[in-house]
Chains A and B, each alone.
Chain A
Amino acid sequence: MTEPMLKGRGLTKRYGKVTALDRCDFDLYPGEILAVIGDNGAGKSTLIKALSGAVIPDEGEILLDGKPVTFASPIEARGYGIETVYQTLAMSPALSIVDNMFMGREIRKKGMMGSLLRQLDKAEMERVAREKLNDLGLTTVQNINQAVETLSGGQRQGVAVARAAAFGSKVIILDEPTAALGVKESRKVLELIQDVRARGIPIVLISHNMPHVFELADRIHVHRLGKRLCVIDPKAHTMNDAVAYMTGAKEPEEVRAA
């Protein structure tokens, strides 16, 4: 295979006595869907936070296209085209769907109103937001200016996924994007993930849903006790194997296959 597009080496993050990440390695290849699975508290969210600038690792390095990078904040990672849906969704409940989708990348009006008075182009942002939500099949009739807190948990998750899919240009990271979604909405998100891959953008998918993982993933990164235990090929392993590895019931024979 080619070189990894996003690579982590020896990533370590401690919270007091808890070692959330323990010299963890990570590889994401161009155009693939990489699933990350592991028990609760294994450190999956911490890993992707380190890769998206939300957490600064104590040790280790991150390479993007072979070049070392450091992200001091999520804004910096986003500047490189890495877009993330966090497990907590990172939305402002009192603000509207549009405000949330464009948070930190607002569109300004053209001409004097935009450059001098820095006025936001609300109409344009609404148009784009509506389009993105429709792509996701999330809404038919929609009041895009509705506060996010008035949405159901699943709808919120849909908005967060739409936001990442709309703006990710290099890597999209999804931390349990279907956890709160209904069957139908989950299916939409899975389709969206495949669409994004078809656009050539690689995806990191954290999920506890094994059927989804085995259906979509090209490779599966099994995370255990803060590090990568192994990478398995979903075509060569069963779900039972994967669960056994991730819970420690079974040791993988060929470490780092794929």
Chain B
Amino acid sequence: MSDSTGRGQDYESSLSGASTSLAEFEAHEKGLFGRFHNALHATPALVPLIVLMAAILIFGVTLGERFFSPGTLTLILQQVQIVGVLAAAQTLIILTAGIDLSVGAMAVFCSVIMGQFTFRYGIPAPVGIACGLAIGTGIGAVSGWLVSRVKLPPFIVTLGMWQIVLAANYLYSKNETIRSQDIRESAPLLGFMGMRFEVGGAVITLGVVTMILIVVVLAYVLRSTAWGRHVYAVGDDAEAAELAGVNRHGTIMSVYMTAGFICGLAGWVMIGRFGSVSPSASTGVVGNIQSITAVVIGGISLFGGRGSIWGAFFGALIVGTFELGLRMAGANAQWTYLLIGALIIGAVAVDQWIRKVTS
């Protein structure tokens, strides 16, 4: 054996003369273009931010003061508050390479729980709200368990959950609406999220503040805590994450439960926005698609593990800006859908391009 070992080492003997500067992890800059590519790779929310700024600029220039005023710009925030909150929940799920078709239905159901518990059973409003949030979290836990333990595809689980929750919502509420007058008189806390402040023409509601707070908190948690790193790792490659020491099941459960809780908050925001509690609010049907649209335009990869919550927030604002801007410009509403459709496809194309590794 010494024979072969000797030969084995022979070819390595020339190593002593080898250069000592070893493999270098230097990103090769390839001019402006390569640098741009790298920047997008590192900061995926950059594209939607640029699009948002461009949209505001274009509408600001063409519509002038009418659009570019504190009142109009904050109106956009108010109009996207529900979708913005739902998009935050959707972001968490999509980061784990899932998708949640039930977010809108959950928000409506949670708002109905909050309202009905308070009015039908005479429970104090704060407790009713807590029950709504708890039920949102609970539904999230069921979905999470089905995805993580039973290993059903998230698309199927949440497609089913969407129907189940929406039906339960109608059955339980008996299709009754709680009028805004009643809420104002006997349970103003339910409408708390609709409280507004005016600062020099800008109108901010607590719902808007809540949306921004959720985004800020999630941005911090996803970036700067171990849990956030685990969410990305599980979405990137669940098996690798598990081998590397991530509690995959715990991470997925906590993601779906947090998303459920955020949907509960969205339900509360809905009561503030609409004033009343209605089981047939359109959010139950279109909330999922709107939130997925915001997330996709926001540059979050549907394959999981890539993107930032800021992107989803900008995505929601882009949709809101287009809707309001085009309406003010007197354009047919179909133009909004057409443009948003193009943006969705464009965003995914950019995502594919970013995922192509700098080589």
B8 cross-chain contacts in A, Cβ below 8 A: 210-212, 214-215
Contact of B243 among A86, A106, A150 (CB under 8 A): A86
B28 nearest in chain A by CB position: A150
Contact of A138 among B23, B244, B246 (CB under 8 A): B23
| Contact present for A146 and B244 (CB under 8 Å) | no
| Contact present for A239 and B1 (CB under 8 Å) | yes
Task: Give A187 to B342 CA distance when docked, in angstroms.
Answer: 53
Given A103-B233, A119-B224, check contact A73 B242 (CB 8 Å): yes
A142 sits at the interface (CB 8 A):
yes
A69 to chain B minimum Cβ distance, whole angstroms, is 17
One of B10-18, B84-92, B110-118, B130-138 at the interface: B10-18
| Contact present for B357 and A150 (CB under 8 Å) | yes
A235 nearest in chain B by CB position: B1
A58 sits at the interface (CB 8 A):
no
Contact of B227 among A90, A93, A118 (CB under 8 A): A118
Given A93-B236, A94-B305, check contact A139 B23 (CB 8 Å): yes
A132 to chain B minimum Cβ distance, whole angstroms, is 14
Task: Give A88 to B238 CA distance when docked, in angstroms.
Answer: 13
Task: Give A147 to B242 CA distance when docked, in angstroms.
Answer: 19
A141 cross-chain contacts in B, Cβ below 8 A: 24-26
Task: Give A182 to B9 CA distance when docked, in angstroms.
Answer: 14
Give chain B's interface residue range (CB within 8 Å of chain A).
Answer: 35 or more
Given A94-B306, A187-B15, check contact A214 B22 (CB 8 Å): no
Chain B positions 19 through 48: 1 when the CB is less than 8 Å from some CB of chain A, otherwise 0: 001111111000000000000010000000
- Number of CB contacts from chain A to chain B under 8 A: 143
B305 nearest in chain A by CB position: A94
A19 sits at the interface (CB 8 A):
no
Chain A positions 74 through 113: 1 when the CB is less than 8 Å from some CB of chain B, otherwise 0: 1100100000101011111111010110011110100000
B240 sits at the interface (CB 8 A):
yes
| Contact present for B226 and A106 (CB under 8 Å) | yes
B357 cross-chain contacts in A, Cβ below 8 A: 147, 149-150
In residues 119-163 of chain A, which contact B (Cβ within 8 Å)?
119-120, 122, 137-144, 146-147, 149-152, 154-155, 158
A interface: dominant SS: loop
Task: Give A103 to B41 CA distance when docked, in angstroms.
Answer: 21
A215 nearest in chain B by CB position: B5
| Contact present for B22 and A140 (CB under 8 Å) | yes
Give chain A's interface residue range (CB within 8 Å of chain B).
Answer: 35 or more
A212 cross-chain contacts in B, Cβ below 8 A: 8
B62 to chain A minimum Cβ distance, whole angstroms, is 39
Given A118-B227, A120-B224, check contact A140 B21 (CB 8 Å): yes
A78 nearest in chain B by CB position: B245
A184 sits at the interface (CB 8 A):
yes
A106 cross-chain contacts in B, Cβ below 8 A: 226, 229
| Contact present for A151 and B25 (CB under 8 Å) | yes
B18 cross-chain contacts in A, Cβ below 8 A: 184
Interface-centre pick from B41, B227, B239, B244 (highest chain A CB count, 10 A): B244
A238 cross-chain contacts in B, Cβ below 8 A: 1, 4
B138 to chain A minimum Cβ distance, whole angstroms, is 24
A75 cross-chain contacts in B, Cβ below 8 A: 245-247
In residues 215-260 of chain B, which contact A (Cβ within 8 Å)?
220, 224-227, 229-230, 232-233, 236-237, 239-247
B352 sits at the interface (CB 8 A):
no
A86 cross-chain contacts in B, Cβ below 8 A: 243
B358 sits at the interface (CB 8 A):
yes
A119 cross-chain contacts in B, Cβ below 8 A: 224-225
Contact of B9 among A84, A95, A215 (CB under 8 A): A215
Complex A-B: 8 CB contacts under 8 Å: A74-B243, A86-B243, A88-B239, A88-B240, A92-B236, A95-B236, A108-B226, A140-B22
Extra pairs beyond A141-B24, A185-B23, A214-B4 (6, CB < 8 Å):
A88-B243, A92-B305, A93-B237, A94-B236, A103-B230, A211-B7
